[in-house]
Amino acid sequence: MQKRTLGKSGLEVSAIGLGCMGLNFAYGSALPRQDAIDLIRGAFERGVTFFDTAEAYGPFTNEEIVGEALAPFRDQVVIATKFGFKDGEVAKGQDSRPENIRAVAEASLKRLKTDRIDLFYQHRVDTAVPMEDVAGTVKDLIREGKVKHFGLSEAGAQSIRRAHAVQPVAALQSEYSLWWREPEGEILPLLEELGIGFVAFSPLGKGFLTGKIDANTSFAQGDFRNIVPRFTTEARQANRRLVDAISAIAAARGATPAQIALAWLLAQKPWIVPIPGTTKLHRLDENLGAAAIELDLADLRQVEDALAGITIAGARYPADLAARVGR
């Protein structure tokens, strides 16, 4: 597995990481605990060194699983986790008060069975707390050795600049994929200017870009996609054009649509790292295979030409969740 460095931070990670959220949160039934541990360890055995979790995933249980899974080789991996919700519950809203950031850090260290958090993200910008206070608190945690690097998730340009002025931001984690390209407008140029890495979550469009989801697909009870406008039956039918175009390119390369989608992200910038999630080892192998696919300028033009004129139907978040991003 190739390695990448997140911006100017010096934080080196595998070119493709593992988003651990879906192991037990947001996508229906949780994977049995030992199966989740085995999958995380399987990812490490395949060269993955970058693992993403958060106190809000569960809440708390995802961190516990990640901590147990990675304990045998803790010093060989990078663990990212997040703070910023009241009591770790998304439904309760933001809480990035300095005292809560500190409390989350201490609790996360215990759940992760570690003495430091490699990358500590603010999960969502909290408009009730000045960004300078947030960044300053993480700066103190870094001085104390409890945190190594500071990150933001789904933050807007102004928040990124304000945070970075207090404590250098190592990475921004936001959604980015062939069906959500908004970061290309303002965010990617800003990150390049400031030397900040980009960690792309949902790089496979919450599974849609794999080609395995169509208008007839039913999602399990508790699956987040049941409330996402982009996943209504009508939107899935309309968005199939995108998947068909990617599938044609993949077939010509002897690859899968998921591999082309991930390879496309890797080809955008050398400091972009996608973190696809999965609960299946064969999908993990498929995803990691994308790192060996190099798309040159001609390939990228082919992708652009194939997708030209395709408009994606449906918003990526319900209105209440959309209000929390880009602030």
Label residue 210 exposed, middle or buried (CB < 10 Å: 0-12, 13-18, 19+): buried
Q: 52 vs 79, 153, 161, CA distance in Å?
A: 6, 12, 24
| pLDDT band at residue 303 using 50, 70 and 90 as cut-offs | very high
Average confidence (pLDDT) over 301-314: 94
Q: pLDDT tens digit string along 50-82?
A: 999 999 999 999 999 999 999 999 999 999 999
Length of the chain: 327
| pLDDT band at residue 198 using 50, 70 and 90 as cut-offs | very high
- Asked if 57 is an active-site residue, the reply is yes
Q: How far apart are CA 191 and CA 172, in angstroms?
A: 8
Token pair in block for residue 196: 């900040």
Q: pLDDT tens digit string along 261-284?
A: 999 999 999 999 999 999 999 999
Q: pLDDT tens digit string along 211-262?
A: 999 999 999 999 999 999 999 999 999 999 999 999 999 999 999 999 999 9
| pLDDT band at residue 93 using 50, 70 and 90 as cut-offs | very high
Q: How far apart are CA 41 and CA 239, in angstroms?
A: 35
Q: How far apart are CA 24 and CA 222, in angstroms?
A: 11
Token pair in block for residue 78: 């990078």
Q: How far apart are CA 221 and CA 227, in angstroms?
A: 11
User: What phi and psi, each to the nearest 5 degrees, are found at residue 273?
Assistant: -130, 115
Task: Quote the distance between the C-alpha of residue 87 and its chain's center.
Answer: 22
pTM (2 d.p.)? 0.97
Look at residue 100 in the predicted model and tell me its pLDDT: 98
Average confidence (pLDDT) over 10-39: 96
User: What phi and psi, each to the nearest 5 degrees, are found at residue 85?
Assistant: -120, 150
User: What phi and psi, each to the nearest 5 degrees, are found at residue 175?
Assistant: -75, 140
Domain range summary for the chain, segments of one domain joined by +: 3-205+268-293
Q: How far apart are CA 294 and CA 41, in angstroms?
A: 27
Look at residue 36 in the predicted model and tell me its pLDDT: 98
Q: Could you tell me where the beta strands, DSSP code E, fall in 127-243?
A: 147-153, 169-175, 197-201
Q: Which residues contact 261 (CB under 8 A, 6 or more apart)?
A: 177, 178, 203, 204, 205, 209, 210, 246, 290
Q: Residues 205, 199: contact at Cβ < 8 Å?
A: no
Q: How far apart are CA 327 and CA 323, in angstroms?
A: 8
Token pair in block for residue 54: 């958060």
Q: pLDDT tens digit string along 167-192?
A: 999 999 999 999 999 999 999 999 99
Look at residue 191 in the predicted model and tell me its pLDDT: 98
Q: How far apart are CA 111 and CA 109, in angstroms?
A: 6
Look at residue 149 in the predicted model and tell me its pLDDT: 98
Average confidence (pLDDT) over 307-317: 94
Which amino acid makes up residue 241?
A: R
| pLDDT band at residue 161 using 50, 70 and 90 as cut-offs | very high
Pick the more confident residue, 29 or 186: 186
- DSSP code of 311? P
| pLDDT band at residue 285 using 50, 70 and 90 as cut-offs | very high
Average confidence (pLDDT) over 140-147: 98
What does the mean pLDDT of the chain come to? 97
Label residue 306 exposed, middle or buried (CB < 10 Å: 0-12, 13-18, 19+): middle
Look at residue 52 in the predicted model and tell me its pLDDT: 98
Q: How far apart are CA 20 and CA 180, in angstroms?
A: 21
Token pair in block for residue 35: 């199966």
Token pair in block for residue 20: 């651990």
Catalytic residue chosen out of the listed positions 27, 57, 121, 176: 57
CATH number belonging to domain 3-205+268-293: 3.20.20.100
What kind and span of H or E run contains 19? strand 18-19
